[in-house]
């Protein structure tokens, strides 16, 4: 997200090379006086333009829950394309957001798209233990985790405590999942270590 100062700096930097256009814009659209052409100095025009920017600037949303009509956002459609959209008041916009399918940036949407793909592949190798199997503490339930201390995937055994993660019958099943999606993608998208760089 751009903060206000960066927003102004980018605009002013872009227009500094073409002050004549800024003066015309200021006279026609900001002070609305066509008869001022040639009577205002460039510094006067720049001053009026900065004031106009201050008035027109709207703080961008920090979360998808702050989106207002016509704010730019992204979503993943039913066939996996990341698309740009202007936020509106349609029921489908609300539904997409309530399902976690609206994003502020294209990068966030692309990350989530890949995360879903990786999860679907990893789930193929996981095993859903029954309630009876969970009560049997002799049955090993394996799950992977990322060890930040040494930067490796750790295989962890669980016997009777169920958490919100995928479980596997063996380390071999976890290894198969890692091999199919690739270790880097497994760590970044399945284990959630976004800044992992191998």
Residues 129, 159, single domain; the answer is: yes
pLDDT of amino acid 92: 83
Could you tell me if 98 and 132 lie in one domain?
A: no
Please indicate, yes or no, whether residues 128 and 177 belong to a single structural domain of this protein.
yes
Q: What's the pLDDT score for residue 63? A: 95
The answer to whether residues 128 and 73 belong to one domain is: no
Q: Write down the pLDDT at residue 7.
A: 58
Q: What is the pLDDT of residues 91-105, one digit of tens each?
A: 788 889 999 999 999
Q: Name the domain count of the chain.
A: 3
Is residue 35 included in any domain, yes or no?
yes
Q: What is the pLDDT of residue 36?
A: 47
Q: Give the pLDDT of residue 128.
A: 94
Q: Is residue 110 part of a domain?
A: no
Q: Answer whether residue 130 is part of any domain.
A: yes
Phi, psi for 154 (deg, rounded to 5): -105, 140
- Does residue 49 form part of some domain? yes
Whether 130 and 156 map to the same domain: the answer is yes
In this structure, are 24 and 70 located in the same domain? no
Q: What are phi and psi of 129, to 5 degrees?
A: -70, 140
- Looking at 32-150, list the stretches that DSSP marks H as alpha helix, in order from N- to C-terminal side: 42-56, 91-98, 106-123, 131-135
pLDDT of residue 3: 58
The per-residue pLDDT for 196 is: 78
Profile the chain (198 residues) by mean pLDDT over runs of 10 residues: 58 57 53 47 62 70 91 92 86 88 96 97 96 90 93 88 91 97 96 84
Q: Identify whether residues 177 and 133 lie together within a single domain.
A: yes
Q: What is the pLDDT of residue 49?
A: 63
Asked if residue 147 is part of any domain, the answer here is yes
Q: What pLDDT score was predicted for residue 17?
A: 55
Burial 9-45 (b: 16+ CB within 10 A, else e): eeeeeeeeeeeeebbebbbeebeeeeeeeeebeeeeb
Residue 68 domain flag? yes
Q: pLDDT tens, 115-153?
A: 999 999 999 999 999 999 999 988 999 999 999 989 899
Q: Which structural domain, as residue segments, surrounds residue 91?
A: 64-104
């Amino acid at each position: 997200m751009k903060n206000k100062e960066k927003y102004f700096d980018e605009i002013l930097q872009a227009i500094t090379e073409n002050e004549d256009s800024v003066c015309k814009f200021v006279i026609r659209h900001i002070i609305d006086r066509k008869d001022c052409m040639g009577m205002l100095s460039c510094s006067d025009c720049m001053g009026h333009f900065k004031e106009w920017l201050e008035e027109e600037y709207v703080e961008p949303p920090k979360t998808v829950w702050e989106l207002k009509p016509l704010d730019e956002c992204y979503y993943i459609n039913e066939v996996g394309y990341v698309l740009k959209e202007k936020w509106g008041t349609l029921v489908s916009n609300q539904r997409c957001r309530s399902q976690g399918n609206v994003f502020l940036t294209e990068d966030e949407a692309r990350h989530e798209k890949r995360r879903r793909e990786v999860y679907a592949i990893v789930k193929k190798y996981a095993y859903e233990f029954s309630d009876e199997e969970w009560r049997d503490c002799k049955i090993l339930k394996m799950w992977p985790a990322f060890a930040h201390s040494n930067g490796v995937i750790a295989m962890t055994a669980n016997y009777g405590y169920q958490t919100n993660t995928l479980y596997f019958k063996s380390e071999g099943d976890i290894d198969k999942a890692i091999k199919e999606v690739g270790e880097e993608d497994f760590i970044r998208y399945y284990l959630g270590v976004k800044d992992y760089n191998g």
